[in-house]
């Protein structure tokens, strides 16, 4: 569709040419609530609540699952942001409730809280307090809201008590609690195993999603996100944080001279699209993200430093396995008419009629185009495949290695279909630094050197990743071979001698 001033005014005059005889007022029927937030996943819905906490200046946001008798009952999100007054909480609970936004805020539509909550739960309770103000609370029950948009007012003493509860967060000035009851996705059976499975899966998805979309704010420490589970009878479980996952966090570039910036400057539109090339398929979380690598190529859009689009080509290009190393980033702080607009769920942009042509015409400082970028990303993948094919197969890494390191090793070379090589600590009589057990495929390290090597830190199964990686690279051939030849024996003696001297020096 071609959209220009002339065609718009032509449509306007076509509209006024239709005769009318008056107006009727047709407010939305309450059942329109049912359609709200239908596209949200649990992690996407939580992100809407976290967006609001960030807009409220929160530095800490805790997401707590509450269970009783192994049955999950509630999800509670607590923040230490500036909170809301009585007037503000009424606007907050109103669908489309309007207020003035600062340019750096994530909120825009007055929908997120309600749409996200009703997509997941039948009851939404919000309790809040401004610094020095009194506690206020409101509750929407989907059932009664559907009849006449009537919202419950929560007893202020109850709201105050909930806000004063020790949430084990640093003391903040104000704060807000958003609570979901009757959560639709929670398992119904209440069996221990099923609840455990659900929580494990939900934690993993939430950490990946929030770690990715807020990675910049998490890296800078602007906000800190936490997850835990409270069992009403048995107390609190372990709290975990949400670590940042930077989709551009590659160790080295995949192609010389990239990344480059495609610059769009046209009639008041000024945009820069930074074109990155990953250095080959990688097992790093930063590359894998949620595992759907094909969907994660393409355009990443940051809106006020919050990632709102995680890949996709917006019609510029088809998803193509050959382009898995191509990721472009774009920064925006508002809609740009005819070019792009932010989806209300903040899970992507809609591109307008001019987007593709502007990007295809854009150039980098050294004259490269979008088409050159696509070619370079394709070549980088071919080159990395060629390199991988040339590498010799090695044993997989077994126990003693952090999962992340195991994955990284397995991504770098083809694996032999044999017992994995483990590196473990054990008491070994005498001073020898290591002992090898080829039958069990274990390289044993003498426990007496553990404290010295780990600099006094408490040991764990996967400790000392750098040391273990170097030992893996050194010893792998010894374990992989059919027999130990005279040359291997000589090497082993040499390594034993030198490693023992080095380990003693560490002591
Ligand atoms: N945790 C919170 N702390 C302080 N105020 C909040 C919090 N959550 C919601 N609010 C208030 O409620 C309002 C409505 O939130 P809601 O998410 O529904 O819409 P929005 O953030 O304004 O826009 P959008 O639809 O883009 O999310 C917010 O603008 C904010 O004023
Ligand atoms: Mg919002």
pLDDT in tens, 428-454: 989 999 999 999 999 999 999 999 999
Per-residue model confidence (pLDDT) at position 37: 67
211 vs 14: which has the higher pLDDT: 211
The span from the CA of 157 to the CA of 142, in Å, is 24
Per-residue model confidence (pLDDT) at position 2: 37
pLDDT at 4 over 60: no
E strand residue ranges, 363-430? 422-426
- The pLDDT tens digits for 180-193 are 999 999 998 778 88
Q: Which residues contact 393 (CB under 8 A, 6 or more apart)?
A: 413, 414, 415, 416
DSSP 462: T
The span from the CA of 389 to the CA of 385, in Å, is 6
Q: Which ligand is nearest to the CA of 117?
A: 1
Q: Output phi, psi for 99, to 5 deg.
A: -145, 175
Of all atoms in ligand 1, which is nearest to the CA of residue 114? 18
Write the residue with the smallest CA distance to atom 8 of ligand 1.
Answer: 52
Ligand 2 centre and the CA of 74: distance in Å?
21
The span from the CA of 93 to the CA of 153, in Å, is 11
Per-residue model confidence (pLDDT) at position 10: 60
Ligand 1 centre and the CA of 89: distance in Å?
9
Ligand 2 centre and the CA of 33: distance in Å?
16
- The pLDDT tens digits for 38-92 are 778 999 999 999 999 999 999 999 999 999 988 999 999 999 999 999 999 999 9
The span from the CA of 61 to the CA of 199, in Å, is 18
Q: How confident is the model at residue 9 (pLDDT cuts 50, 70, 90)?
A: low
Write the residue with the smallest CA distance to atom 12 of ligand 1.
Answer: 92
- The pLDDT tens digits for 16-52 are 889 888 888 887 777 777 777 677 899 999 999 999 9
| CA angle at 176 for the pair 171 and 181, rounded to the nearest 5° | 125
Please give the average per-residue pLDDT across 246-254, as a whole number. Answer: 91
Write the residue with the smallest CA distance to atom 28 of ligand 1.
Answer: 92
Ligand 1 centre and the CA of 429: distance in Å?
65
Of all atoms in ligand 1, which is nearest to the CA of residue 106? 26
SS3 category, 113: helix
The span from the CA of 89 to the CA of 355, in Å, is 38
DSSP-H helix ranges across 242-309: 285-288
Mutate to test the pocket of ligand 1, among 55, 94, 179, 348 (most ligand atoms within 8 A of CB): 55
**Ligand 1 contact, 56 CB (< 6 A):** yes
Q: What is the dihedral of CA 495, 498, 503, 507, to 10 degrees?
A: 170
Q: What percent of the chain has pLDDT over 70?
A: 97
Measuring CA to CA, which residue among 180, 143, 120 is closest to residue 31?
143
Which residues are paired to 126 by β-bridges? 138, 178
The span from the CA of 339 to the CA of 348, in Å, is 14
DSSP-H helix ranges across 263-369: 285-288, 355-361
Write the residue with the smallest CA distance to atom 6 of ligand 1.
Answer: 52
Q: Which ligand is nearest to the CA of 61?
A: 1
Q: Which ligand is nearest to the CA of 92?
A: 1
Ligand 1 centre and the CA of 328: distance in Å?
30
For helices 192-213 and 42-55, give the axis angle rounded to 10 degrees: 50
Measuring CA to CA, which residue among 406, 464, 410, 409 is closest to residue 433?
464
Whole-prediction pTM value?
0.81
Write the residue with the smallest CA distance to atom 31 of ligand 1.
Answer: 92
**Ligand 1 contact, 159 CB (< 6 A):** no
Q: Output phi, psi for 169, to 5 deg.
A: -115, 155
Average pLDDT, the chain: 91
| CA angle at 275 for the pair 341 and 324, rounded to the nearest 5° | 95
**Ligand 1 contact, 114 CB (< 6 A):** yes
């Amino acid at each position: 569709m071609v959209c220009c001033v002339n065609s718009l005014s032509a449509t306007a005059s076509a509209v006024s040419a239709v005769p009318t005889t008056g107006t009727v007022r047709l407010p939305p029927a309450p059942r329109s609530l049912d359609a709200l937030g239908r596209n949200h996943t649990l992690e996407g819905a939580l992100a809407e609540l976290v967006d609001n906490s960030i807009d409220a200046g929160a530095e800490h946001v805790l997401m707590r699952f509450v269970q009783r008798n192994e049955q999950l009952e509630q999800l509670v999100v607590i923040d230490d942001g500036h909170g809301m007054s009585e007037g503000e909480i009424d606007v907050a609970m109103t669908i489309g409730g309007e207020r003035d936004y600062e340019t750096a805020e994530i909120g825009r539509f007055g929908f997120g809280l309600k749409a996200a909550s009703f997509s997941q739960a039948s009851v939404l309770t919000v309790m809040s307090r401004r610094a020095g103000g009194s506690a206020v609370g409101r509750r929407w029950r989907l059932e009664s809201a559907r009849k006449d948009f009537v919202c419950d007012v929560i007893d202020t003493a109850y709201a105050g008590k909930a806000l004063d509860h020790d949430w084990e967060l640093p003391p903040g000035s104000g704060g807000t609690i958003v609570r979901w009851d009757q959560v639709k996705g929670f398992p119904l059976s209440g069996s221990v195993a099923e609840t455990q499975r659900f929580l494990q899966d939900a934690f993993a998805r939430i950490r990946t999603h929030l770690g990715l979309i807020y990675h910049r704010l998490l890296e800078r420490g602007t906000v800190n996100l936490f997850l835990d589970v409270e069992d009403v009878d048995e107390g609190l479980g372990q709290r975990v944080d949400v670590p940042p996952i930077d989709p551009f966090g590659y160790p080295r570039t995949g192609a010389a001279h990239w990344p480059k910036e495609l610059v769009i400057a046209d009639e008041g539109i000024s945009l820069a699209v930074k074109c990155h090339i990953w250095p080959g398929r990688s097992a790093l979380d930063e590359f894998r993200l949620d595992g759907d690598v094909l969907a994660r190529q393409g355009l990443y859009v940051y809106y006020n430093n919050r990632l709102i689009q995680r890949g996709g080509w917006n019609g510029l290009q088809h998803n193509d396995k050959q382009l898995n190393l191509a990721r472009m980033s774009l920064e925006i702080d508002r809609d740009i008419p005819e070019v792009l607009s932010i989806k209300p769920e903040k899970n992507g942009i809609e591109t307008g009629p001019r987007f593709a042509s502007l990007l295809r015409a854009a150039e980098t400082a050294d004259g490269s185009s979008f088409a050159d970028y696509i070619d370079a990303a394709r070549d980088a993948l071919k080159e990395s495949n060629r390199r991988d094919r040339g590498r010799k197969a090695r044993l997989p890494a077994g126990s003693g290695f952090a999962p992340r390191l195991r994955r990284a090793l397995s991504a770098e070379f083809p694996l032999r279909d044999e017992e994995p090589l483990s590196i473990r600590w054990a008491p070994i009589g005498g001073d020898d630094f290591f002992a090898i057990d080829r039958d069990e495929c274990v390289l044993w390290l003498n426990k007496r050197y553990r404290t010295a090597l780990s600099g006094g830190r408490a040991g764990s199964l996967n400790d000392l990743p750098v040391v273990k990686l170097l030992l893996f690279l050194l010893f792998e051939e010894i374990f992989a071979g059919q027999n130990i030849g005279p040359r291997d024996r000589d090497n082993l003696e040499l390594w034993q001698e030198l490693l023992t001297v080095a380990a003693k020096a560490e002591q």
